[in-house]
Structure 1
Amino acid sequence: MNRRFGARALLATSVFTGLIAAAPAFAETKTDLGLAMSTEPTGLDPTAAAPVAIGQVVWQNVFEGLVAINEDGAIVPQLASAWTVSDDGLTYTFDLEDGVTFHNGKAFDAETAKFTIERIIAENSVNPQKALYSAIESVEAPDADTLVVHLSRPAFDLLYWLGFPAAVMVEPTSAETNATDPVGTGPFAFAEWRKGNEVSLEAYPDYWGDKPALENVTFRFIADPQAQAAALNSGGVDAIPEFTAPELVSQFETKDDFDVVLGATGMEVVAGMNNAEPPFDDARVRRALMMMLDRQAIVDATNSGFGTPIGSHFSPSDAGYEDLTGVLPYDPDTAKALLTEAGYGDGLSFTMKVPNRTYAERAAEIMQAYFAQGGVTMTIESSEFPATWIKDVFKDTNYDMTIIGHAEPLDIGIYARHPYYFNYDNPEFDATMAEIANATDEDARLEGYRKAQEILAEDVPALFLYAWPKIGIWKAGLEGMWENEPVPSNDVTDAHWSE
């Protein structure tokens, strides 16, 4: 090779090398995800224990049900592709997906589903939500792809309850070990549980549905809010779906490399009243007290502005939600007039038993100040939670007013329970809940819930304050995470990193 040709070759090589160096390196899309949770679950089987932290790890990710509840609070098909309900509402026939396998390779079929439901309603069942399925009388599996459920009474909300973590499908040979080695049909299989630290999941290669974009998901347990914030800032975790320190959110709202996503949960914070005793047996008093409170101000003062004011016992995360805060809005003058009409023009006094939980204590103090402006004296009495509060308020109904967050999804029906700590008796409301149970289609069910909300908004058996917020903070580029949380969960089946 002569010198001139060699020099040209060297120059060309240098330029080509320089172009390669200058070009951006191809970046593969990230396929792993680290999430932080405040509470470590006691086990990993949601059909055997109540703590919501169990479902927040495994529901939808590892375990699936006949149906599911989506982010909008609607019932959607899952392992049952379709279903029909008999005209009398007593027979549910489910068409099951074909070709579904559990993570241990065993097939899911009607016999498996029959085993799961019979296990829930068995006399010796330890299922935390067993009472929800009490209408189920018997179960049949006429063929591998068909499940028939017979009820003793109409219960149209059974479909909703079947979407809960407590009703996920269980493979019989793994039933006794799911608490430590969960085996489901979901897109992720259990990989490892390092007690006190984290649970790891990995994509299941033979998943029957759409494959997840993520290959590995790790749930890390960090109780302290300051430590949660530090983990986000350091890159120790990618996301915290439920950030527990509202006062620290502002530091992430100003950073371009984080997304702060605000939504609602199914938990309603309400101030319950003993409706069987004066003065709360008079609806005018209850309405007056509701109109003395500025709900948004309570949210601002107690939760740094995070939370959604509500006008009934229903969350914005529930399908069929109506904003009824305008039924009895903040109106101190009208409130005083109502109290006078009810015979309390010279004042009113009562005691609020407050569980020793920060959100409840803060809200009680704000309510006390608002009531004082209206001539109402509310004495705050601290109550140890859960033991003392449950005994005095929940069991013995030995109280005037209290405040608590009701975390069970879609639990508006508690006002039709007799007995229950509100001591509320409204035949119209009870009849409406019966209409919901007797519904034969989703439209009728949702219409029933709208009517139930409106009855409570007018009659106020409790002072409806706000829906607990879902504060999600995660790295920019992470998509597919839930904004709202109608069921306590961390569903990452659609989560992915943008390219």
Structure 2
Amino acid sequence: MRKIAIILATLLLTTTILVNGAAAEKILRIGIAKEPASLNPVFIHGVYGESVAGNIFDTLVSFKESAKEAAPLLAESWTISKDGKVYTFKLRKGIKFHNGDNFTASDVKFTLEAIMDEKNASPSAQFFKPVQTIETPDDFTVVITLTDPYAPFLLALGSHTAGIMPKAATMAMGMDKFDRAPIGTGPFKFAEWSPDDKIVLTKNNDYFVATPNIDKVIFRPIPKPETMAAELLSGGLDVGSELLPQDVSRMQEEGLSVKSVPGLTSRYLGFNAKRKPFSDLRFRQAVYHAIPFDQAIPGIFRNDGDRAYSWIPVGVLGDDVDYMKKHTLPYNPAQAKALFAELRNEGILPENFEFTIYSPQDPQRKKIATVVSTQLRQYGITVKVETPEWATLFPMLKAGQCDMYAMGWGSVPDPDRWTYKIFIPESNMNFSQYSDPMVTEALKKGRTISDPVLRAKLYQTAMRKALVEDYIHIPIAFLKTTIVTSTKVQGLDPSPQRYIHLVTAKRNVDIK
């Protein structure tokens, strides 16, 4: 009997340990507004893919703790030649990919060349156009030589779209298969992707920065902010963002944690520079005068956005807010009416003119488009608002098929990333088909010089021409980045770029 009792007690203790062990698994459930299109760094475009991939992959340098200053990551140190053309990186030793492969310089060379390879059509390829050669003198040294000095080069290397991939495994799988089974060196390993449902990551116990506190991360795409709010309130999610202002207030009252920082995300209206009457400066000025933006913006964004007057956010090099605000066109219905009448008299604006303004499906941009539609109706112009799926809208924008659109942008705190892709004629992100030689020259030159004063003047010149002379876009708002979390979540702060950084040199998110 005594032996039986001991055996039963041992079984009970073992069961208790197993049960407690299972219960102790730390799972963090994160809501994201859109499902990533890709997790292969070569193919990634957009913040949602970057946010997930930033936890799978590491980059040579890191901007996770400071968006303005590069810190060591896979590269433990680097030097830059006096002429700004040669970057020499010394790599960390002993790092392994999630599949067990050793990380070496050949993986860095392979990844960067894959981004640059025209066959892959990488959205990030344009940021590596200045690269002339990539050499690997040994397994832990990478030497990158540029054709010309390129001020934002470290930012390009620190972007989540430059996460280092294992050469052997990627070549064996192929780029497309790797997209759905990514392998990095980061704090979390890819485990599962159920389309339109979830992306699951598990902790990398061998992560060289720190062992993650979280055992499993589940990213759930939830496009409707009302649904995300309900999931947060019910406990179905631990972290959520891009929520409606009224829901954020309600969740704060319910005891959830709300954190905000000034963001690096904008909203704007764009005109097609190659289609009449949008191509006529007077039409763009008339639209600007016709809409009371100072009244409309607080109603749309509440406490989540501040009026924008330029493309470059406040605090970023080239910020020119005082000049741009002074030259922003005011709400002036009489002037709008006069300009529209002038265009009609010249036959540029047809009587009973109708057009479509496009926006993604998020409520804020749809509201911006709706305000435009409502206001222009007073001037005899009928505007239809359409909000197609992103997979449909994005190709239309790239092809220059949208006469007017409400869009957004988010990037790192360098003016090149806020301007080059949007205003350079050959960029497929130049949805307005805008082309101005002075703007193009200033933006291209801004990439090649390191003097911050001279760079700032170039970007100010470009933006003054594009925005307060040509009025090719109407800046609407810079958004704050707000996250709502369960009180169980510890150590997670919002990122200005809306990334979710779970493990860094200074942070290791936990859930109690």
Who is 2:253 aligned against?
A: 254
Q: Verify: 1:307 aligned to 2:305, yes or no.
A: yes
Residue type of the partner of 2:489? L
Pairing 1:395–2:399 present: yes
Residue among 119, 125, 140 paired with 1:124: 119
C-alpha distance in structure 2 between counterparts of 1:233 and 1:381, whole Å: 36
Write the deviation string for residues 7-32 of structure 1: whole angstroms up to 9, x where unpaired: xxxxxxxxxxxxxxxxxxxxx99955
Distance 1:72 1:431, change over 3 A: farther
Q: Give the whole-Å Cα distance in 2 for the aligned partners of 1:228 and 1:397.
A: 32
Equivalent residue letter for 1:260: V
**How much has 1:274 moved relative to structure 2?**
3.6
Note closer, same or farther for the CA distance 1:383–1:389 as it changes in structure 2 (3 Å cut). farther
d(CA) in 2 for partners of 1:298, 1:475: 32
Kept in 2: contact 1:67–1:76 (CA 8 A): yes
Q: Is the 8 A contact 1:72 1:319 kept in 2?
A: no
Aligned to 1:145: 140
Provide Cα deviations, 1:430-481, integer angstroms capped at 9, x if missing partner: 2321222112366765665455445544333211112355331112363443
Q: Select between 387-396 and 69-78 the one with higher mean Cα deviation.
A: 387-396
Q: 2:509 aligns with which of 487, 496, 499?
A: 496
Q: From 420, 434, 458, give the equivalent of 1:424.
A: 434
Match of 2:93 in 1: 98
AA aligned to 1:252 is M
1:262-281 alignment, distance < 5 Å: 262-263=260-261, 265-275=263-273
Measured after TM superposition, the shift of residue 428 of structure 1 is: 3.3
Question: Which residue in the other structure is 1:483 paired with?
Answer: 494
The answer to whether the aligner puts 1:331 opposite 2:297 as a matched pair is no
Identify unmatched segments of 5+ residues in structure 2.
1-22
| 1:326 partner SS | helix
The number of aligned residues is 464
Matches within 5 A, 1:180-195: 180-193=180-193
Seen in structure 2, the aligned counterparts of structure 1 residues 147 and 440 have a Cα distance that, compared at 3 Å, is: farther
| Residue in structure 2 matching 1:366, options 368, 371, 378 | 371
Helix, strand or coil for the counterpart of 2:326? coil
Contact 1:186 1:207 in 2 (8 A): yes
Which stretch of structure 1 is more off in the superposition, 109-118 or 66-75? 66-75
CA distance in 1, matches of 2:453, 2:141: 25
Change (3 A) 1:211 1:439: farther
Which residue matches 1:17? none
What displacement does 1:259 show? 1.8
Distance 1:345 1:355 in 2: 23
Which sits farther off after the overlay, 475-484 or 383-392?
Answer: 383-392
Structure 1 residues 206-244: Cα deviation after superposition (integer angstroms, max 9, x where no partner): 22224444344332344443432232122222111x234
Residue 388 of structure 1 and its aligned partner are, at CA, apart by: 7.7
1:69 is aligned to 63
Structure 2 CA distance, aligned partners of 1:64 and 1:38?
Answer: 24
Between the aligned partners of 1:427 and 1:114, the Cα distance in structure 2 is 35
Deviations 1:364-390 (A, max 9, x none): 3323455677xx554313456468866
Per the alignment, residue 24 of structure 1 pairs with: none
Is it true that 1:467 corresponds to 2:470 in the alignment? no
- Are the equivalent residues in 2 in contact too, given 1:271–1:402 (CA < 8 A)? yes
Residues 207 and 326 of structure 1: CA distance in aligned 2, closer, same or farther (over 3 Å): same
Q: Secondary structure, in 3 states, of the residue corresponding to 2:446?
A: helix
The one of 415, 424, 439 equivalent to 2:423 is 415
Tell whether the 8 Å contact from 2:74 to 2:92 is kept in structure 1 after alignment. yes
Distance 2:460 2:75 in 1: 27
1:200 CA drift (Å): 3.4
Task: Tell me which amino acid in the other structure corresponds to 2:444.
Answer: A
The alpha-carbon distance between structure 1 residues 356 and 292, as it changes in their structure 2 partners (threshold 3 A), is closer
Q: Which moved more, 1:243-252 or 1:341-350?
A: 341-350
Structure 1 residues 165-244: aligned runs within 5 Å: 165-175=160-170, 176=173, 178-193=178-193, 197-240=197-240, 242-244=241-243
| CA displacement 1:95-115 (0-9 Å, x = unmatched) | 333343322333322222112
1:65, distance to aligned residue in structure 2 (A)? 1.0
Structure 1 pair 173–389 and aligned structure 2 pair: CA distance change class (3 A): closer
State the distance in 2 between where 1:114 and 1:344 align.
58
Q: Deviations over 1:55-96 (max 9, x none)?
A: 22221x120111233366325133224434445444332233
Q: Is the 8 A contact 2:293 2:331 kept in 1?
A: no
Q: C-alpha distance in 2, partners of 1:69/1:262? A: 19
Aligned equivalents of 2:302 and 2:372: distance in 1? Answer: 16
Matching residue's letter, 1:299: I
Hey, what does 1:297 align to over in structure 2? 295
**Aligned sequence identity (%):** 23
Contact conserved, 1:29 with 1:498, CA < 8 A, in 2? no
| Structure 1, gaps ≥5 residues long | 1-27
Of the structure 1 ranges 444-453 and 140-149, higher mean CA displacement relative to structure 2 is found in 444-453
Assess if the C-alpha contact under 8 Å between 1:71 and 1:483 holds in 2: no
**What is the CA–CA distance in structure 2 between the aligned matches of 1:282 and 1:377, rounded to whole Å?**
18
Kept in 2, the 8 Å contact 1:312–1:456? The answer is no
Q: Which amino acid is the alignment partner of residue 416 of structure 1?
A: I
CA distance in 2, matches of 1:55, 1:37: 12
Q: Distance in 1 between matches of 2:66 and 2:283?
A: 35
Higher radius of gyration, 1 or 2 = 1
Q: In structure 1, what is the Cα distance between the partners aligned to 2:451 and 2:339?
A: 43
Could you tell me how far apart the structure 2 residues matched to 1:408 and 1:288 are? 30
CA distance in 1, matches of 2:360, 2:58: 33
Q: Secondary structure at the match of 1:402?
A: strand
Change (3 A) 1:283 1:45: same
Q: C-alpha separation between the residues in 2 aligned to 1:402 and 1:39?
A: 20
For residues 183 and 170 of structure 1, what CA distance do their matches in structure 2 show? 7
1:8 match: none
Secondary structure at the counterpart of residue 45 of structure 1: coil
Flag the 1:244–1:329 CA change in 2: closer, same or farther, 3 A: same
2:65 is aligned with 1:54 = no
Distance 1:353 1:216 in 2: 44
TM-score, length-normalised on structure 2? 0.75
Inter-partner Cα distance in structure 1 for 2:66 and 2:460: 16
- Which deviations, in whole Å up to 9, do the C-alpha atoms of 1:113-165 show, x marking residues without a partner? 11211222234325343333233232101123321122344433333222222
From the two aligned structures, give the one with the greater helix fraction: 2
